[in-house]
């Protein structure tokens, strides 16, 4: 997956999620997706290649970093709870979709129930995810 494909796929998925909003709190070079004011995805090219930073379960994040050459600890984020994807052959559209949705659901799970735009478990099942 090249940089343009990674950026386009990330935007496509993030925009489609219920309650998702694009923001630019770090300036025009950072696309930040939030749900109810909490970040679940960041995209930028300011430091070199296109980067997509997402929230991840710590154990899953460690496994992903071991399995995929194009996934690293979160750039400028808590390295235990965030991962960064960069363009490369180990990424494909389905993996990017799954990781963006999982990041979103991790954030939604942390919201007060009354403010959640979706039920995380039901949304995960409908999206074909196990979580």
The residues, ordered by sequence, that sit 6+ positions from 28 with a Cβ below 8 Å of its Cβ are none
Beta bridge partners of 9: none
Residue recorded with tokens 């997402």: 54
Calpha distance 106→55 (Å, rounded): 7
Please write the tens of the pLDDT for every residue from 77-124: 767 789 999 999 999 999 999 999 999 999 999 999 999 999 999 999
**Would you place residue 130 in the very low, low, confident or very high pLDDT band (cuts 50, 70, 90)?**
low
User: Virtual CA dihedral for 41, 81, 85, 92, nearest 10 degrees?
Assistant: -90
**Tens digits of per-residue pLDDT, 47-60?**
778 899 999 999 99
Tell me the three state secondary structure of residue 71. strand
pTM > 0.85: yes
The encoded tokens of residue 76 equal: 């400028």
Q: Which sequence spans correspond to the domains of the chain?
A: 3-122
pLDDT in tens, 33-49: 999 999 999 999 887 78
CATH architecture, domain 3-122 = Alpha-Beta Complex (3.90)
């Amino acid at each position: 997956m090249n940089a343009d494909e990674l950026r386009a796929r990330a935007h496509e998925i993030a925009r489609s999620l219920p309650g998702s909003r694009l923001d630019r709190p770090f300036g025009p070079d950072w696309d930040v997706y939030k749900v109810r004011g909490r970040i679940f995805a960041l995209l930028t090219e300011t430091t070199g290649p296109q980067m997509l930073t997402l929230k991840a379960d710590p154990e899953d994040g460690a496994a992903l970093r071991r399995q995929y050459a194009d996934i690293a600890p979160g750039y400028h984020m808590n390295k235990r709870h965030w991962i960064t994807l960069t363009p490369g052959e180990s990424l494909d559209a389905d993996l990017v979709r799954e990781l963006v949705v999982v990041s979103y659901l991790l954030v939604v799970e942390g919201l007060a129930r009354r403010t959640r735009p979706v039920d995380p478990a039901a949304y995960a099942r409908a999206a074909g995810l196990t979580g």
